[in-house]
Chains A and B, each alone.
Chain A
Amino acid sequence: MYPHRLLLMFLFVAFLLLPAVMDLWLFSASSWPIPYIIWFALILFTALMSHRHHDL
């Protein structure tokens, strides 16, 4: 339970930073495919993490 709460705290911090991150991601790209490419990279990362999970 506590590791999840710690992770949740990090996520809240990330959430606060999210607006700036998404500004950079979506509205500062020099080329129109770049947001999709970044999105695809996030999907690949998530797929990799989901295959390495340990269920407790």
Chain B
Amino acid sequence: MISDLRLPLLLLIGVAYLLLLLACAYAAERGWIAQRWVRHPLVHTLSLGIYASAWTFYGAFSIARDSGFTYLISYLGASAAFMLSPLILLPILRLTRTYQLSSLADLFAFRFHSAAIGSLTTALVMLASLPLIVIQIQGIVSSIRLFNDTLSEAQLALAFCLLLTLFSILFGARHPSLRSRHDGLSLAIAIKSLVKVVVLLTLASYVFLQVFNGQKGLNLWLTEHPAALETLLSSPDNSSWRTLFIAFFGAAFLTPHMFHILFSENASESSLRLASWLMPLFLLLMALAIPPLLWTGFKLELLGNPDYLLLALGQALSLDWFIILAFIGVLSAASGVILVANIALASMLQNHLLLPVIRLPDSSSFYRWLLWLRRSLILVVMSVSYAIYLLLDQRFSLAQLGLITFMAFLQFLPGLFATLYWQGASRVGFLAGLSGGLSIWLMTVIQIYLSLEQPSHSLDLWYEYTLLSLLLNTLLLIGGSLLFPADAREAEHATACILNALPRQTRLLGHDKDSLENLEQRLSQRLGQHSARREIEQARQILDLPNTNKLGPLDLLKLRNTLENNLSGLLGPVEATALLRPESLQQARFRGREIHLLEEQLEHYDERLSGLAAELDKIRRFHRFTLQRLPIGVLTLDDHSQILFWNRQLQEYTGIDANEAIGSDLPSLPSPWAEFFGHFTQSPEKLHETCPLEHQHQTRWFSLHKTLVNEGNTQGMIVLIEDETEHRQIANRLAHSERLTSIGRFAAGVAHEIGNPVTGIACLAQNLKLETDDPIILETGSHILTQTQRISRIVQSLVRFAHTGQADQLSKLEAVNLYACAQEAVELLRFDERGRNMLIMNQIPPEYRCSGDPQLLLQVFVNLLNNACDASPEHSRIVIDASQMQNALRVRITDPGSGIEPEHQQRLFEPFFTTKEPGKGTGLGLALVYNIITEHCGNIEFISPADKKQNKGTQVIIQLPLWVDSALSTQTEKT
């Protein structure tokens, strides 16, 4: 009994140490310690040192004493697991991250597509973990009793269990989500690992330097005591160490605390790559400390009870600090394993044994309920462990307990290898193998426990039975899988698990008809309405989706995936998947990774890719950028007319956002696009040139090209859409210009021919006037002369028009009295019968003056009034009025006629276009009017029908520049 050191002081130091770790964890959670340090890969790698449990501090000395270097097997087995991380640990990490798996039970439940397997695995892991926890309890209790053996083991164990229950809850049960990272816990475990290795190395260094006086002293002592070295170097009597190697290899990742730290608390592959060599180095340093300490025990004759050699050495050397350090070391080892094992086991029990059978409360305290459930489970785990500790009553040494637990976990190894490397493994084979292996294990445990022999003599049985159980497990797995192959759903999960394989997809997008209402309804059935709505709202906020009940297919898919990820953290992936898969999909194939969600994840993944993957991603981005930025629309469809790609140009053409379009069926697009694209995709032609489309009250023209995609499993169609509207308008303008040019040439010829007879008429009219005094004849003659002059001016305009191709500059600008000009036109029209029968009202204010050529403007009024008279019934009222704008005058000529047909309105100013009967009009009137108004820097427009109620009449609106007295009157520049 170690009595020099006061026990209360040691316990106080122990509790203070645990509280200090709790404080560090709290500081990390609150962000008082920089995140870049807390989440550094080195911290996570060090936290893997949790593998070194109380067994390492105590049990290793037993094996080293009895079997020499065989004690290295426990370290070498784990080292091999880490060194082979690219083949084992990294694939598991990718699976757990991809499919939100947080435990071994989640992994097997996912792989074999069976919630029952998850439940069975949970129960077996719980059973196998109990001896592991008992080791820690036993190590601490026995250490304390070395100071005072009058203390009750049961009471000490109870106090320790209660303390660890409290710390487990404080460290790891503060958030409802299982996938929440516990940065504080990782930091605390990393500190413990550091403490363990520092403690062992410190103690070993002390004895090396002080007891043996360095290397020379040690060599001298070993030479004098060859038995000490022989024990270490000699081969073991049996080959049981080979089985141990496999057991500890599996223990490095199959035990719940190691699985949790490796995969649930891990954020990146970089920390696992670091761990592939750093963890073996950590274990090497711990293993290196054993021989000096063992030889010191040999020297001081303290190897009667090697399990507690460290404390005995401290006592023998009379060093309180030695004892304190050793105690702190074993406390670090024991408490770390219990803490993480509690958290991991509670999560597994919650997900796989409780939640599938109990109904969650429908209230706002749903999350608190989940949290308290997990805390209760932690208490249950510790209570059962305490009960097993009392039941075993220290019949087994620490080394033996370690062997019991690691042998049990070894039974999951064949199933795990099948998960990673054999698609053919079925759930029947897995169950058969597991059952067979664990049956042998269980029978052996019971047999030895009930045996009258000392347990230590039956240790040899362990290795034989372990090999037998492993062999039976593997054979049953293979045989069962061959006899009862996996079904389709299992096979797809198996494919998803195979190393570096992406799941096979039948469609590039999920083709379900889910809706927001369905999602809420399904969640409500399980979580209650309040919690369901809260989860949906939370997912919406994460994705920044609009607050509407109508979400596009792609948005709905993203929402469902986010919900699944969030609920996986709360309820586990099995429950989450069962909640969110519609019945149709649960019967259908396993959901593959939809291509767009994959691309979205790759968008955020670019910094983490390296090597060839990074190069491939760059190429992918470049091609995607090219497609997105093409100046023509690109539409891609799958074989079910579901839209897969919708680039930016198409977005501009249609006004439909890509997020709304992608995932939709083509017929579900808004009109007219659904019909427009649907008609083309169904037609046999691969090219439709310049198809008109009425959209938003205007006509646009598009050219459509399509090509079919038929490569392997990928079927679909690519459609290119080019907007030809501008081209069409340019072509129209060009044609119009060509027509005007040809008309101009034609008009020039006609003008020359007309000129001669008009000159003749003018001469005759002049002669007529000279030869008579009759006032009527004189007046008639004057009118003839006036009209011939008009003809001459028109001819001159036509000639000018023909020579320049457009109306030339006005010869002179003067102030034109609009009232007088219009009145003159009215007077001229009275010469025509139709003009006489009309009531033409000139309501232009007499003071209005515009800038222009009076003769040309007279021609405008004559032509327009002529057209108005032709279109209106007899005795109709034609009104001419005007209004003044800022720098212009607006003249309106309104008639109650038949109006202008809409299809004619675009062609009014075309030369030779007329709706009159042949011979009644040349079609040049409005063309000339248009040219004259344009020459005057004005504009002209027609409104028909002028009277919308009666749907008749036409109003012509002419805008002419206002005459400004100070303006130059000689000429104006035309732009």
Which residues of A approach B to under 8 Å, CB–CB? 1, 4-5, 7-8, 11, 18-19, 22-23, 26-27, 29, 32, 35-36, 39-40, 42-44, 46-47, 50, 53-56
Given contacts A26-B72, A39-B76, contact A54 B610 (CB under 8 A): yes
A44 to B280 Cα, complex, angstroms: 10
Q: Are B245 and A22 in contact (CB under 8 A)?
A: yes
Given contacts A4-B499, A19-B239, A43-B284, contact A54 B291 (CB under 8 A): no
Asked whether any CB of chain A lies closer than 8 Å to the CB of B87, the reply is yes
**Residues on A with beta carbons closer than 8 Å to the beta carbon of B499:** 1, 4-5
What 0/1 readout, one digit per residue, does chain B (46-81) give for beta carbons within 8 Å of chain A? 000000000000000000000011101000100100
Given contacts A27-B233, A46-B277, contact A56 B500 (CB under 8 A): yes
Q: Are A40 and B611 in contact (CB under 8 A)?
A: no
A26 to B74 Cα, complex, angstroms: 13
A39 smallest CB distance to B (angstroms): 6
**Residues on B with beta carbons closer than 8 Å to the beta carbon of A46:** 83, 276-277, 280
**Residues on B with beta carbons closer than 8 Å to the beta carbon of A50:** 273-274, 276-277
Q: Are B284 and A19 in contact (CB under 8 A)?
A: no
| 9 extra A-B contacts, CB within 8 A, seeds A36-B284, A46-B280 | A1-B499, A4-B87, A19-B242, A22-B245, A27-B235, A42-B83, A43-B284, A50-B274, A56-B611
**Residues on B with beta carbons closer than 8 Å to the beta carbon of A4:** 87, 499-500
Given contacts A1-B499, A39-B76, A54-B611, contact A23 B288 (CB under 8 A): no
Asked whether any CB of chain A lies closer than 8 Å to the CB of B84, the reply is yes
Q: Are B86 and A53 in contact (CB under 8 A)?
A: yes
Q: Are A1 and B501 in contact (CB under 8 A)?
A: yes
Given contacts A39-B79, A50-B277, A55-B613, contact A32 B232 (CB under 8 A): yes
Asked whether any CB of chain A lies closer than 8 Å to the CB of B609, the reply is yes
Asked whether any CB of chain A lies closer than 8 Å to the CB of B227, the reply is no
Q: Are B229 and A32 in contact (CB under 8 A)?
A: yes
Quick one: which of B604-629 are within 8 Å of A by CB? 609-613
Asked whether any CB of chain A lies closer than 8 Å to the CB of B597, the reply is no
What 0/1 readout, one digit per residue, does chain B (277-291) give for beta carbons within 8 Å of chain A? 100110010011001
What 0/1 readout, one digit per residue, does chain B (232-272) give for beta carbons within 8 Å of chain A? 11111001011001000000000000000000000001000
19 A-B contacts (beta carbon < 8 Å): A1-B498, A1-B500, A5-B499, A8-B87, A19-B239, A22-B241, A22-B245, A26-B72, A27-B235, A32-B229, A32-B233, A39-B284, A42-B280, A46-B276, A46-B277, A47-B277, A55-B609, A56-B500, A56-B612
In chain B, what residue has the closest Cβ to A48?
B277
Q: Are B284 and A54 in contact (CB under 8 A)?
A: no
Q: Are B69 and A26 in contact (CB under 8 A)?
A: yes
Asked whether any CB of chain A lies closer than 8 Å to the CB of B421, the reply is yes
Q: How many residues of B contact A (CB 8 A)?
A: 42
Q: Report which of B233, B241, B611 forms a contact with A55, defined as CB distance below 8 A.
A: B611
Q: Main secondary structure on chain A at its contact with chain B?
A: helix
Given contacts A54-B612, A56-B500, contact A29 B233 (CB under 8 A): yes
Q: Are A55 and B269 in contact (CB under 8 A)?
A: yes
A50 to B610 Cα, complex, angstroms: 13
A32 to B288 Cα, complex, angstroms: 11
**Residues on A with beta carbons closer than 8 Å to the beta carbon of B84:** 11
Which residues of B approach A to under 8 Å, CB–CB? 68-70, 72, 76, 79, 83-84, 86-87, 222, 229, 232-236, 239, 241-242, 245, 269, 273-274, 276-277, 280-281, 284, 287-288, 291, 421, 498-501, 609-613
A2 smallest CB distance to B (angstroms): 10
A43 to B421 Cα, complex, angstroms: 26
Q: Are A55 and B87 in contact (CB under 8 A)?
A: no
A1 to B87 Cα, complex, angstroms: 11
Given contacts A4-B499, A27-B233, A43-B284, contact A53 B273 (CB under 8 A): yes
**Residues on B with beta carbons closer than 8 Å to the beta carbon of A7:** 87
Q: Are A39 and B280 in contact (CB under 8 A)?
A: yes
A8 to B417 Cα, complex, angstroms: 11
A12 to B235 Cα, complex, angstroms: 24
Given contacts A50-B277, A55-B269, contact A35 B69 (CB under 8 A): yes
**Residues on B with beta carbons closer than 8 Å to the beta carbon of A39:** 72, 76, 79, 280, 284
A53 to B235 Cα, complex, angstroms: 37
**Residues on A with beta carbons closer than 8 Å to the beta carbon of B291:** 32
Which of A18, A29, A40, A42 is the most central at the interface, judged by chain B CB atoms within 10 Å of its CB?
A42
B97 smallest CB distance to A (angstroms): 14
Which of A5, A23, A32 is the most central at the interface, judged by chain B CB atoms within 10 Å of its CB?
A32
**Residues on B with beta carbons closer than 8 Å to the beta carbon of A36:** 284, 287-288
**Residues on B with beta carbons closer than 8 Å to the beta carbon of A29:** 233
**Residues on A with beta carbons closer than 8 Å to the beta carbon of B79:** 39, 42-43
A47 smallest CB distance to B (angstroms): 4
Across chains A and B, which 7 residue pairs bring their CB atoms closest together, nearest first?
Answer: A47-B277, A54-B611, A27-B235, A46-B277, A26-B69, A50-B273, A43-B280
In chain A, what residue has the closest Cβ to B86?
A53
A50 to B233 Cα, complex, angstroms: 32
A54 to B287 Cα, complex, angstroms: 32
**Residues on A with beta carbons closer than 8 Å to the beta carbon of B245:** 18, 22
In chain A, what residue has the closest Cβ to B80?
A18
A11 to B84 Cα, complex, angstroms: 10
A43 to B78 Cα, complex, angstroms: 13
**Residues on B with beta carbons closer than 8 Å to the beta carbon of A53:** 86, 273
Which of A26, A35, A54 is the most central at the interface, judged by chain B CB atoms within 10 Å of its CB?
A26
A27 to B232 Cα, complex, angstroms: 9
A54 to B382 Cα, complex, angstroms: 44
A29 to B229 Cα, complex, angstroms: 11
A46 smallest CB distance to B (angstroms): 4
Q: Are B421 and A8 in contact (CB under 8 A)?
A: yes
A56 smallest CB distance to B (angstroms): 6
Q: Are A35 and B229 in contact (CB under 8 A)?
A: no
Which of B76, B234, B236 is the most central at the interface, judged by chain A CB atoms within 10 Å of its CB?
B76
B79 smallest CB distance to A (angstroms): 7
In chain A, what residue has the closest Cβ to B272?
A50
Which of B273, B274, B287, B421 is the most central at the interface, judged by chain A CB atoms within 10 Å of its CB?
B273
A23 to B70 Cα, complex, angstroms: 10
**Residues on B with beta carbons closer than 8 Å to the beta carbon of A1:** 498-501
Given contacts A22-B245, A36-B287, A36-B288, contact A5 B69 (CB under 8 A): no
A44 smallest CB distance to B (angstroms): 8
A6 smallest CB distance to B (angstroms): 11
Q: Report which of A5, A35, A40 forms a contact with B72, defined as CB distance below 8 A.
A: A35
A11 to B80 Cα, complex, angstroms: 11
A12 to B612 Cα, complex, angstroms: 28
Which of B236, B274, B281, B613 is the most central at the interface, judged by chain A CB atoms within 10 Å of its CB?
B281
**Residues on B with beta carbons closer than 8 Å to the beta carbon of A55:** 269, 609-611, 613
Given contacts A42-B83, A55-B610, contact A5 B276 (CB under 8 A): no
B183 smallest CB distance to A (angstroms): 24
A50 to B274 Cα, complex, angstroms: 8
A36 smallest CB distance to B (angstroms): 6
Which of B70, B83, B222, B277 is the most central at the interface, judged by chain A CB atoms within 10 Å of its CB?
B277
A35 to B501 Cα, complex, angstroms: 39
Which of A7, A23, A27 is the most central at the interface, judged by chain B CB atoms within 10 Å of its CB?
A27
A29 to B70 Cα, complex, angstroms: 13
A47 to B277 Cα, complex, angstroms: 5
A53 smallest CB distance to B (angstroms): 7
**Residues on B with beta carbons closer than 8 Å to the beta carbon of A47:** 276-277
**Residues on B with beta carbons closer than 8 Å to the beta carbon of A40:** 281, 284
In chain B, what residue has the closest Cβ to A30?
B233
A54 to B701 Cα, complex, angstroms: 51
B123 smallest CB distance to A (angstroms): 30
B105 smallest CB distance to A (angstroms): 25
